[in-house]
Structure 1
Amino acid sequence: MFERFTKDARDTVEKSVLQAERAGADSVTEEHLLLAILDQRDTRTARACAALGVTDRHASIRDALADARRRAGLSRADAEALAGLGIDVAEIVARVEETHGAGALGPQRAPRRWWSSRRPFGPAARETLVASLRIAAGRGDREIGSEHLLLALTARPGVVSEVLAEHGATHAAVRRAVYGEERAA
């Protein structure tokens, strides 16, 4: 599959590993893929993000992702569903952090494996890569670009797509920004 990736898509994948390393994460997640995409310059995807105003809200996106990590990765929709059952996620997070410290519900680091320093891709990140292949194939594109990765991130339910949608980058909006109105249908 990776032989079909364009240079900007390969760069995105490589930089997502760096994002995971900087964050001290044990594996590469969808969040790391998104942050690598947002760091792009002079690519079709970077221009689409700029057109949607996402580039200007990079800090806000990072903050929203950090907030979701504090909620143990629950999306706002998940938190609202739990609230409908009488479970106040904010209250639970506050109590846990009061007892165990800030970020206690965030991802926990496993002990480093001494035989490998390479960060594996987590299940959701791998699924995103596969979804980008399907999106490219569905459009008849011969190569997989970072725009396909971004579209895959917006198409998959979860925290990343929710944060992007809150910042104006829904699947339909990204499709329009990348391909134009005439091909968005």
Structure 2
Amino acid sequence: MFERFTQGARDVVSGAVGYAGGAGEPRITEEHLLMALLDARGTKASFVLASLGATGWRERLAAALAEARRRGGMSQADAVALAGLGIDVDEIVDRIEEVHGRGALAAERSGVRTVRRPLTPGAKDTLRIALRTAATRRERHLGDEHLLLALIERGGVAADALAACGVSYADVERVLHRGEPGEGLLSAV
């Protein structure tokens, strides 16, 4: 599958590996993919994010992702659903942290340094969705723009963080296909 990745998409996956390693996390998550997407320069996804006003989002998105990790990886939609059942997730997290310390529900950490970090099921699913998106569009390569669309389509913590910044699937599509047929960003390649 990776042979179909553009250099931009490969850089995102490599960047995600770096984010996981820097955080001492044993697996690569879709949140790591999102942070690496924000680092992209000169790619379709970076153009889309800049067009949507992504300047200064890094800190905001990093804070939203950190808060989700604090909740044990629970998305905002999950927290809202539980609130509908009368369960206050923030109160539960606060109680757990009182007893076990800040970040007790954060993703498991391994003291063992590994060279190869596997993808979480969510990150694998994101890559599958990106590949399906590229194939559906009859595009020969999977680019970082497909990864961005897949993160949004899949839902979850990364999609919540993007939505909090006002990024929707429709917005990304609009920027990618701006103007008349043949004038969009995707047709330029």
TM-score range, shorter chain: over 0.9
Corresponding position of 2:18? 18
**Alpha-carbon distance in structure 1 between the residues aligned to 2:157 and 2:50:** 21
Corresponding position of 2:73? 73
Aligned pairs, number: 182
Tell whether 2:110 aligns with 1:110: yes
**Alpha-carbon distance in structure 1 between the residues aligned to 2:149 and 2:180:** 17
Corresponding position of 2:88? 88
Identical columns (%): 52
Contact 1:54–1:168 under 8 Å retained in 2: no
Tell whether 2:169 aligns with 1:171: yes
Determine which of 147, 151, 155 is the counterpart of 2:145. Answer: 147
Corresponding position of 2:187? none
Corresponding position of 2:131? 133
Letter in 1 for 2:72: A
**Alpha-carbon distance in structure 2 between the residues aligned to 1:55 and 1:145:** 21
Contact 2:24–2:110 under 8 Å retained in 1: no
Q: CA 1:182 to 1:104, structure 2 compared with 1: closer, same or farther past 3 Å?
A: farther
Contact 2:97–2:104 under 8 Å retained in 1: yes
Please tell me the root mean square deviation across aligned C-alpha atoms, in Å.
Answer: 1.6
**Alpha-carbon distance in structure 2 between the residues aligned to 1:8 and 1:55:** 19
Contact 2:68–2:75 under 8 Å retained in 1: yes
Larger displacement relative to structure 2 (126-135 or 172-181): 172-181
Q: Give 1:1-40 correspondences, 5 Å limit.
A: 1-40=1-40
Contact 1:50–1:56 under 8 Å retained in 2: no
TM-score normalised over the length of structure 2: 0.91
* C-alpha displacement of 1:110: 3.5
* C-alpha displacement of 1:112: 2.0
**Alpha-carbon distance in structure 1 between the residues aligned to 2:56 and 2:109:** 31
Contact 2:70–2:104 under 8 Å retained in 1: yes
Unaligned runs of 5+ in 2: 185-189
Deviation by residue 1:53-107 (Cα, 9 ceiling, x = unmatched): 2232111011001011111111111111111111111111111111111000111
Contact 2:25–2:110 under 8 Å retained in 1: no
**Alpha-carbon distance in structure 2 between the residues aligned to 1:165 and 1:180:** 20
* C-alpha displacement of 1:12: 0.8
Larger displacement relative to structure 2 (16-25 or 103-112): 103-112
* C-alpha displacement of 1:181: 5.3
TM-score normalised over the length of structure 1: 0.93
**Alpha-carbon distance in structure 1 between the residues aligned to 2:175 and 2:90:** 35
* C-alpha displacement of 1:35: 0.4
**Alpha-carbon distance in structure 2 between the residues aligned to 1:84 and 1:130:** 32
Unaligned runs of 5+ in 1: none
Deviation by residue 1:31-66 (Cα, 9 ceiling, x = unmatched): 000100001111111111011122321110110010
Letter in 1 for 2:44: R
